[in-house]
Homo-oligomer: A and B are copies of this chain.
Amino acid sequence: MIVAMQESASEEQIQQVIEHLVRMGFSVHRTTGERQSVLAAVGARIDFDTRNLEVLSGVEHVHRISAPYKLAGRSFRPGGTVIEFANGLRVGGNEVVVMAGPCSVESREQLFTIAELIVKAGARVLRGGAFKPRSSPYSFQGMGLEGLKLLREAGDHFKLLVISEVMEISQISLMLPYVDIFQVGARNMQNFNLLRELGKEKKPVLLKRGIAATIEELLLSAEYIMAGGNYEVILCERGIRTFETSTRNTLDISAIPVVHKLSHLPMASDPSHGTGLRDKVPPMARASVAAGADVLLMEVHHDPDKAFSDGAQSLYPEQFSKLMDELRMIAPAVGRTIA
């Protein structure tokens, strides 16, 4: 940590700051410049709240030097993380992995229809929501356990892995027999109790960035899961909230190269939630692959106008397969392949 003192700081104030740092377990190196004194504090407390120094008299600015995460940082695994599944699929490797399916599981027929069309187009993982707490209390709330069973059945039938969203600790054991990847939604990115429990499991977790979360906060949430021993975390950009309202959120494509520099974890992009509108999904899916995304997560529905939820952002089958063809043309430009 670096503490820059004000030009007008007295020697007494500087000594008080040094004592405060030493008391917190830091060793302190002092540089006295022409205009001001600067203290470099080195120590083991990764979670120190820098504001405790900012409020001391005579302090101008405090800067954290080390990132507040360790396990999620690039230097922990400079070569990058590749998550390998039992069926041989590798996330974070050469192949850009496409995960697709409906927003919500609605029925056996719906799910099998969609699973068949996405597997034909080249998707490798089936997505679908079983629990759907909605922003309005008057909306459809999901099929629950029945939905999970259908996902597993469709996944096994079409040789697709299965991903579904977990929203509460109590759902973890319920979902364990049915899913291959736990998805943590944007609203739960800082549900630390949930993250801690997922850290104890042996299943990969796809962790979505909150709509107001910085990339540093996303990595810190990954750290929560990894601190429990589960290192198989996939990060996912799905749009941040900005002043622009012509899209539901602003899909921050630049988060893809930023994460690849800061972390070793695979990075996904979800253009369906990131834009909220079907006709914006293909350009943003192409952009994500061109920017280096390891995974694409997309909503597809055979009859989106009748979808129980988020139909407006679900691709039509023909849009999805046309998009997959375009992605196959783009992937080689970044040294990747698509199934």
Interface of A with B (CB < 8 Å)? 2, 4, 6-8, 20, 29, 31, 33-36, 38, 40, 42, 45-47, 49, 51-52, 54-55, 60-61, 63, 65-68, 75, 78, 133-139, 167-169, 187, 190-193, 196, 210-212, 214-217, 220, 223-224, 227, 240-248, 250-258, 261-262, 274-280, 283-284, 286-292, 305, 309-313, 326-327, 329-330, 332-334
Contacts and interface: CB of A to CB of B under 8 A. Distances in A.
Nearest to A191: B187
B212 A212 contact: yes
A241 B214 CA distance: 10
B187 A312 contact: no
A137 B196 contact: yes
A291 B45 CA distance: 36
6 contacts: A2-B38, A45-B138, A47-B139, A135-B192, A211-B212, A247-B258
Given A136-B68, A220-B136, A257-B279, A214 B243 contact: yes
Contacts of A290: 283, 286-287, 289-290, 330
B55 A277 contact: yes
A144 B51 CA distance: 25
A300 to B, nearest CB: 14
Shortest 3 CB-CB contacts between residues of A and residues of B: A212-B212, A51-B312, A47-B136
Given A214-B246, A289-B290, A135 B190 contact: yes
Nearest to A325: B333
Contacts of A330: 290, 329-330, 333
Contact of A250 (B8, B45, B51, B252): B252
Given A38-B40, A240-B242, A250-B250, A276 B51 contact: yes
B134 A192 contact: yes
A217 to B, nearest CB: 7
Given A4-B66, A169-B168, A287-B291, A279 B261 contact: yes
B240 A250 contact: yes
